[in-house]
Structure 1
Amino acid sequence: MRGALHVANDTPFGLASGICTTSLKHASHFRRHAQAGMVMVNTPTAGVDYHVPFGGTKRSSLGQREQGSYAREFFTNVKTSYVRP
Protein backbone atom coordinates (compact mmCIF):
# COMPACT_ATOMS: atom_id res chain seq x y z
CA MET A 1 0.00 0.00 0.00
CA ARG A 2 2.72 2.49 0.92
CA GLY A 3 4.43 1.87 -2.41
CA ALA A 4 1.27 2.58 -4.38
CA LEU A 5 0.57 5.74 -2.41
CA HIS A 6 4.15 6.93 -2.85
CA VAL A 7 3.99 6.41 -6.63
CA ALA A 8 0.63 8.20 -6.84
CA ASN A 9 1.81 11.19 -4.79
CA ASP A 10 5.38 11.46 -6.13
CA THR A 11 4.46 13.81 -8.96
CA PRO A 12 3.95 17.55 -9.34
CA PHE A 13 0.47 16.85 -10.70
CA GLY A 14 -2.69 15.71 -8.96
CA LEU A 15 -5.71 15.51 -11.22
CA ALA A 16 -6.67 11.89 -10.56
CA SER A 17 -5.27 8.80 -8.92
CA GLY A 18 -6.60 5.32 -8.54
CA ILE A 19 -6.02 1.93 -7.03
CA CYS A 20 -7.39 -1.57 -7.56
CA THR A 21 -7.84 -3.56 -4.36
CA THR A 22 -10.17 -5.97 -2.61
CA SER A 23 -9.34 -4.45 0.78
CA LEU A 24 -11.71 -1.81 2.13
CA LYS A 25 -9.01 -0.82 4.63
CA HIS A 26 -6.49 -0.14 1.84
CA ALA A 27 -9.09 1.61 -0.31
CA SER A 28 -10.06 3.95 2.55
CA HIS A 29 -6.43 4.71 3.40
CA PHE A 30 -5.59 5.45 -0.25
CA ARG A 31 -8.66 7.65 -0.66
CA ARG A 32 -7.78 9.73 2.42
CA HIS A 33 -4.08 10.14 1.66
CA ALA A 34 -3.91 10.39 -2.14
CA GLN A 35 -2.91 13.92 -3.16
CA ALA A 36 -5.34 14.25 -6.06
CA GLY A 37 -8.56 16.07 -6.78
CA MET A 38 -10.28 12.86 -7.84
CA VAL A 39 -9.56 9.44 -6.34
CA MET A 40 -10.95 6.27 -7.88
CA VAL A 41 -11.04 2.80 -6.35
CA ASN A 42 -11.52 -0.12 -8.74
CA THR A 43 -12.71 2.22 -11.51
CA PRO A 44 -10.96 4.02 -14.39
CA THR A 45 -9.34 7.37 -13.59
CA ALA A 46 -10.67 8.95 -16.78
CA GLY A 47 -14.09 10.57 -16.83
CA VAL A 48 -16.45 11.54 -14.05
CA ASP A 49 -20.17 12.10 -13.77
CA TYR A 50 -21.35 15.59 -14.71
CA HIS A 51 -22.90 16.27 -11.30
CA VAL A 52 -19.63 15.90 -9.34
CA PRO A 53 -16.93 18.56 -8.96
CA PHE A 54 -14.01 18.20 -11.39
CA GLY A 55 -10.52 19.47 -10.71
CA GLY A 56 -7.10 18.61 -9.42
CA THR A 57 -4.46 19.59 -6.91
CA LYS A 58 -0.84 20.71 -7.21
CA ARG A 59 0.01 21.71 -10.81
CA SER A 60 -3.23 20.17 -12.06
CA SER A 61 -5.26 22.91 -10.43
CA LEU A 62 -6.30 26.24 -11.87
CA GLY A 63 -8.33 27.34 -8.86
CA GLN A 64 -12.02 26.59 -8.45
CA ARG A 65 -13.48 23.22 -9.32
CA GLU A 66 -15.70 22.81 -12.36
CA GLN A 67 -19.03 20.99 -12.59
CA GLY A 68 -21.38 20.04 -9.78
CA SER A 69 -22.13 22.51 -7.04
CA TYR A 70 -18.82 24.31 -7.70
CA ALA A 71 -19.78 25.24 -11.27
CA ARG A 72 -21.74 28.28 -10.13
CA GLU A 73 -18.67 29.64 -8.34
CA PHE A 74 -16.40 28.80 -11.28
CA PHE A 75 -18.48 30.54 -13.95
CA THR A 76 -19.87 33.50 -11.99
CA ASN A 77 -18.82 36.32 -9.73
CA VAL A 78 -20.59 36.63 -6.41
CA LYS A 79 -21.98 40.06 -5.60
CA THR A 80 -23.66 41.14 -2.38
CA SER A 81 -26.26 43.89 -2.79
CA TYR A 82 -28.56 45.82 -0.47
CA VAL A 83 -31.63 47.70 -1.70
CA ARG A 84 -33.78 49.81 0.56
CA PRO A 85 -37.20 50.74 -0.85
Structure 2
Amino acid sequence: MDVPGCEGGHFVAPTIFTNVTNDMTIAQEEIFGPVLSVIRYHDVEEAVAMANDTIYGLAAGVWTRDVNKAYAIAGRLQAGVVWINDWHMLRNDAPFGGYKQSGIGREMGKYSLDAYTQLKHVHTSMVPELEKRKWYQVLFSRLHAMMKK
Protein backbone atom coordinates (compact mmCIF):
# COMPACT_ATOMS: atom_id res chain seq x y z
CA MET A 1 0.00 0.00 0.00
CA ASP A 2 1.47 3.35 -1.01
CA VAL A 3 0.57 6.28 1.22
CA PRO A 4 1.93 9.68 0.18
CA GLY A 5 4.42 10.96 2.73
CA CYS A 6 4.95 7.53 4.27
CA GLU A 7 7.39 6.09 1.76
CA GLY A 8 9.94 3.76 3.31
CA GLY A 9 7.93 3.23 6.48
CA HIS A 10 6.83 -0.08 7.91
CA PHE A 11 3.08 -0.22 7.58
CA VAL A 12 0.42 -2.89 7.37
CA ALA A 13 -2.43 -2.46 4.93
CA PRO A 14 -5.92 -3.18 6.30
CA THR A 15 -6.14 -6.97 6.28
CA ILE A 16 -8.99 -9.47 6.73
CA PHE A 17 -8.23 -13.07 7.68
CA THR A 18 -10.97 -15.59 6.94
CA ASN A 19 -11.33 -19.25 7.94
CA VAL A 20 -9.78 -18.46 11.32
CA THR A 21 -10.41 -20.85 14.20
CA ASN A 22 -10.23 -19.82 17.83
CA ASP A 23 -7.15 -21.97 18.52
CA MET A 24 -5.02 -20.14 15.94
CA THR A 25 -2.33 -17.74 17.14
CA ILE A 26 -3.99 -14.86 15.32
CA ALA A 27 -7.13 -15.40 17.41
CA GLN A 28 -5.26 -15.75 20.69
CA GLU A 29 -2.83 -12.83 20.55
CA GLU A 30 -3.32 -9.09 20.37
CA ILE A 31 -2.57 -7.55 17.01
CA PHE A 32 -2.11 -3.81 17.09
CA GLY A 33 -2.90 -2.97 13.51
CA PRO A 34 -5.73 -2.77 10.98
CA VAL A 35 -6.44 -6.51 11.13
CA LEU A 36 -9.74 -8.37 11.31
CA SER A 37 -10.03 -12.10 12.00
CA VAL A 38 -13.30 -13.72 10.92
CA ILE A 39 -14.29 -16.68 13.11
CA ARG A 40 -17.50 -18.60 12.49
CA TYR A 41 -19.80 -19.42 15.40
CA HIS A 42 -23.11 -21.28 15.79
CA ASP A 43 -24.84 -19.16 18.43
CA VAL A 44 -24.25 -16.26 20.81
CA GLU A 45 -23.18 -18.58 23.63
CA GLU A 46 -20.37 -19.99 21.51
CA ALA A 47 -19.35 -16.55 20.27
CA VAL A 48 -19.06 -15.15 23.81
CA ALA A 49 -17.16 -18.25 24.98
CA MET A 50 -14.68 -17.92 22.11
CA ALA A 51 -14.25 -14.19 22.66
CA ASN A 52 -13.46 -14.78 26.33
CA ASP A 53 -11.16 -17.76 25.64
CA THR A 54 -7.94 -15.74 25.64
CA ILE A 55 -5.49 -14.34 28.15
CA TYR A 56 -6.15 -10.87 26.76
CA GLY A 57 -9.13 -8.57 26.96
CA LEU A 58 -8.38 -5.10 25.65
CA ALA A 59 -11.42 -4.49 23.48
CA ALA A 60 -14.28 -6.23 21.72
CA GLY A 61 -16.93 -5.33 19.19
CA VAL A 62 -20.54 -6.41 18.82
CA TRP A 63 -22.36 -5.81 15.55
CA THR A 64 -26.13 -6.33 15.51
CA ARG A 65 -29.46 -4.66 14.81
CA ASP A 66 -30.70 -5.72 18.26
CA VAL A 67 -29.15 -3.18 20.63
CA ASN A 68 -30.68 -4.81 23.72
CA LYS A 69 -28.99 -8.09 22.79
CA ALA A 70 -25.75 -6.18 22.18
CA TYR A 71 -25.82 -4.72 25.71
CA ALA A 72 -26.46 -8.17 27.18
CA ILE A 73 -23.51 -9.58 25.23
CA ALA A 74 -21.28 -6.61 26.14
CA GLY A 75 -21.88 -7.31 29.81
CA ARG A 76 -20.60 -10.87 29.39
CA LEU A 77 -17.48 -10.04 27.39
CA GLN A 78 -14.23 -9.97 29.37
CA ALA A 79 -12.90 -6.83 27.72
CA GLY A 80 -12.13 -3.37 29.05
CA VAL A 81 -13.91 -1.67 26.16
CA VAL A 82 -16.82 -2.97 24.11
CA TRP A 83 -17.89 -1.14 20.98
CA ILE A 84 -21.42 -1.71 19.71
CA ASN A 85 -21.92 -1.17 15.98
CA ASP A 86 -18.75 0.90 15.92
CA TRP A 87 -15.03 0.45 16.20
CA HIS A 88 -12.20 2.18 18.04
CA MET A 89 -14.19 5.15 19.24
CA LEU A 90 -12.47 6.64 22.28
CA ARG A 91 -13.71 9.40 24.53
CA ASN A 92 -11.47 11.53 26.72
CA ASP A 93 -13.86 11.19 29.66
CA ALA A 94 -14.25 7.40 29.40
CA PRO A 95 -11.75 4.93 30.86
CA PHE A 96 -9.71 2.90 28.39
CA GLY A 97 -7.81 -0.23 29.36
CA GLY A 98 -8.03 -3.97 29.23
CA TYR A 99 -8.93 -6.95 31.35
CA LYS A 100 -6.71 -9.93 32.08
CA GLN A 101 -3.21 -9.45 30.61
CA SER A 102 -4.14 -6.47 28.44
CA GLY A 103 -2.61 -3.35 29.85
CA ILE A 104 -2.16 -2.02 33.34
CA GLY A 105 -4.86 0.19 34.82
CA ARG A 106 -6.94 2.66 32.87
CA GLU A 107 -6.08 5.60 30.65
CA MET A 108 -8.26 8.67 30.19
CA GLY A 109 -11.14 9.85 32.33
CA LYS A 110 -11.13 10.19 36.10
CA TYR A 111 -10.22 6.50 36.44
CA SER A 112 -6.77 7.16 34.98
CA LEU A 113 -5.80 8.84 38.26
CA ASP A 114 -6.07 5.45 39.97
CA ALA A 115 -2.97 4.34 38.06
CA TYR A 116 -0.97 6.89 40.05
CA THR A 117 -2.49 6.25 43.46
CA GLN A 118 -2.78 3.48 46.00
CA LEU A 119 -5.97 3.33 47.97
CA LYS A 120 -6.00 2.57 51.65
CA HIS A 121 -8.89 2.17 54.05
CA VAL A 122 -8.18 3.36 57.59
CA HIS A 123 -10.95 2.83 60.12
CA THR A 124 -11.01 4.64 63.43
CA SER A 125 -13.69 4.21 66.03
CA MET A 126 -14.41 7.08 68.38
CA VAL A 127 -17.26 5.20 70.04
CA PRO A 128 -16.65 4.34 73.70
CA GLU A 129 -16.01 0.65 74.33
CA LEU A 130 -19.22 0.19 76.32
CA GLU A 131 -21.38 1.53 73.45
CA LYS A 132 -19.51 -0.66 70.97
CA ARG A 133 -20.20 -3.75 73.05
CA LYS A 134 -23.93 -2.95 73.09
CA TRP A 135 -23.95 -2.54 69.32
CA TYR A 136 -22.02 -5.79 68.82
CA GLN A 137 -24.43 -7.62 71.14
CA VAL A 138 -27.38 -6.50 69.01
CA LEU A 139 -25.59 -7.38 65.78
CA PHE A 140 -24.45 -10.82 66.90
CA SER A 141 -27.78 -11.69 68.49
CA ARG A 142 -29.46 -10.95 65.14
CA LEU A 143 -26.86 -12.98 63.25
CA HIS A 144 -27.26 -15.85 65.70
CA ALA A 145 -31.05 -15.75 65.27
CA MET A 146 -30.69 -15.76 61.47
CA MET A 147 -28.37 -18.76 61.57
CA LYS A 148 -30.88 -20.76 63.62
CA LYS A 149 -33.51 -20.43 60.87
Larger RCO (alpha carbons 8 Å, 6+ apart) = 1
* Mapped pair 1:3 → 2:52: no
* Mapped pair 1:12 → 2:12: no
Q: Distance in 1 between matches of 2:89 and 2:71?
A: 21
Letter in 2 for 1:11: T
Correspondence for 1:59: 101
Q: Which has the larger radius of gyration?
A: 2
Q: Distance in 2 between matches of 1:9 and 1:75?
A: 29
Query: Which ranges in structure 2 are unaligned for 5 or more consecutive residues?
Result: 1-43, 120-149
Q: Distance in 1 between matches of 2:52 and 2:91?
A: 24
Correspondence for 1:71 among 101, 105, 112: 112
Shift of 1:47: 4.2
TM-score normalized by the length of structure 1: 0.75
Aligned length: 77
SS of the aligned residue for 1:39 comes to strand
Query: Which ranges in structure 1 are unaligned for 5 or more consecutive residues?
Result: 79-85
Superposed CA deviations along residues 21-48 of structure 1, whole A, max 9, x for unmatched, are: 011332121111000000111011x241
Q: CA RMSD in A?
A: 2.0
